[in-house]
Amino acid sequence: MYTRREFGGLVLGGMASVGLFSRVSSAQSVFPPNRSLINGVQFGLQPFCYHDLPMTPANRGTLINRLVKNGLGMVELHATWVEPQFAAPGVSPEEVRQKQRQWRRTAPASFYQSIKKEFDDAGVTIFTYYVNLNDSYTDAEIDAVFAAAKILGAQGCVGSQGLRVTQRLASFPGKHGMFMGVHNHANLSDPDALNNEASFVKALSFSPHIQATLDTRHYTAANGDCLEFLARHHARMSSVHLGDRKRNNGRSTPFGEGDAPLIETLRMIRDNRWPIVALLEFEHGTLRPNVDEVQLMFDYCKRALA
């Protein structure tokens, strides 16, 4: 079993192996002890999965409380938990984007520092910052997003943008000593979409600062083989979004009821000491309070690694 320090070293080692993040070591050293390092696998949460908790700044405190209650010490934080909302009745989408763009370029560092402190105080590390960057983002705005992520303590930004936008983004993360995680869906009809191994390979070719964020649910639903992907591309993977679905565009299921090889994925990460963070995420329905559902998922993973 790894100690927390060893896991941190592995994360850095993995990144150093692709010639990146020489400046990350100092940031890593200030990460608080992480409560969700389980038998060598670092767990966190992708809180997009909370069906019952809108992703707003007002709910950020509840999110942190839930993470602590579930024993999770790492999170992939969506920007909507952080940024003010500009959408309002009578405000056009273009106006919303304009205000958002202006706000991002002028938001003081102290704004993000205070949010980082909220998570630090609860012992939760912001691993990545999730922003769906697209064509409407100016270069200055993209730089502002990466700079914000850096202040939050994130090691990279993650998004579900297509290949064309990813190519445009490729030069940005390196400037900030970060990575850009690319996340797949199960969209097999769009040639620009991240949906299979070939599309990941193409995205990764744009820059050594691009990393794969493999979503096991969608990859399985698109009839991909997660284990083969891990075996071939682990050195370029920052994380997995860990969840279950059935193949052939099947439905999302509770952990263990679908076709995603969750246990094998976790054991591969553990046994090979790969610095790949496992971010729990679910889209399946549940009658339970969602914090209870996350606990069931986390407990399933713990048993898989016991």
Partner 1 sequence: MAGSAAAQSGGRPGYNEAFIGAPLADSVMQYNKESYVMYGCAYCHGVNLVPRGEAVDLRRSALVGSDVDGTLIVRALRAGFWQTTRLSPMPQYSDLSDQQLNAIAAYIHHARQRDRYTTLTQAPLPAGNATAGQTDFAQRCQSCHVGTSLAGIGKKYDAASLRARLLEPPGLTGGSFALDRLRDSQRAEARLRHERLLENHSAEQVANLVAYLQTLN
Instruction: Using the rule CB under 8 A, give the single segment among 84-92, 184-192, 266-274, 298-306 that binds partner 1.
Output: 184-192
In the bound complex, what is the minimum distance in angstroms from residue 194's beta carbon to partner 1? 12
- Asked if 51 is part of the footprint of partner 1 (rule: CB under 8 A), the reply reads yes
Instruction: List all residues 6 or more positions away from 19 whose beta carbon is below 8 Å from its beta carbon.
Output: 208
Sites for partner 1 among residues 224-283 (CB under 8 A): 245-246, 248-252, 283
Residue nearer to partner 1 on the CB measure, 163 or 268: 163
Q: Tell me the CA distances in angstroms from 33 to 2, 4, 7, 26, 306, one per residue in order.
A: 13, 7, 11, 15, 21
Rule CB under 8 A: choose which of 221, 280, 294, 297 binds partner 1.
221
Q: Tell me the CA distances in angstroms from 219 to 241, 243, 279, one per residue in order.
A: 10, 10, 15
CB 233 within 8 A of CB 219: no
- Asked if 291 is part of the footprint of partner 1 (rule: CB under 8 A), the reply reads yes
Residue nearer to partner 1 on the CB measure, 95 or 192: 192
In the bound complex, what is the minimum distance in angstroms from residue 6's beta carbon to partner 1? 31
Output DSSP code: residue 72. -
- Asked if 286 is part of the footprint of partner 1 (rule: CB under 8 A), the reply reads yes
Residue nearer to partner 1 on the CB measure, 257 or 271: 257
Neighbours of 46 (CB within 10 A): 26
Rule CB under 8 A: choose which of 91, 292, 299, 303 binds partner 1.
292
- Asked if 132 is part of the footprint of partner 1 (rule: CB under 8 A), the reply reads no
- Asked if 104 is part of the footprint of partner 1 (rule: CB under 8 A), the reply reads no
- Asked if 93 is part of the footprint of partner 1 (rule: CB under 8 A), the reply reads no
Residue nearer to partner 1 on the CB measure, 110 or 189: 189
Instruction: List all residues 6 or more positions away from 255 whose beta carbon is below 8 Å from its beta carbon.
Output: 243, 244, 262, 282, 296, 297, 300, 301
Rule CB under 8 A: choose which of 187, 196, 273, 302 binds partner 1.
187
Rule CB under 8 A: choose which of 30, 58, 198, 287 binds partner 1.
287
And the tokens for 178?
A: 């970060």
Q: Quick one: CA torsion of 269, 80, 140, 11, rounded to 10 degrees?
A: -20
By the criterion CB under 8 A, which residues form the site for partner 1?
Answer: 51-52, 65-66, 69, 185-190, 193, 221, 245-246, 248-252, 283-292
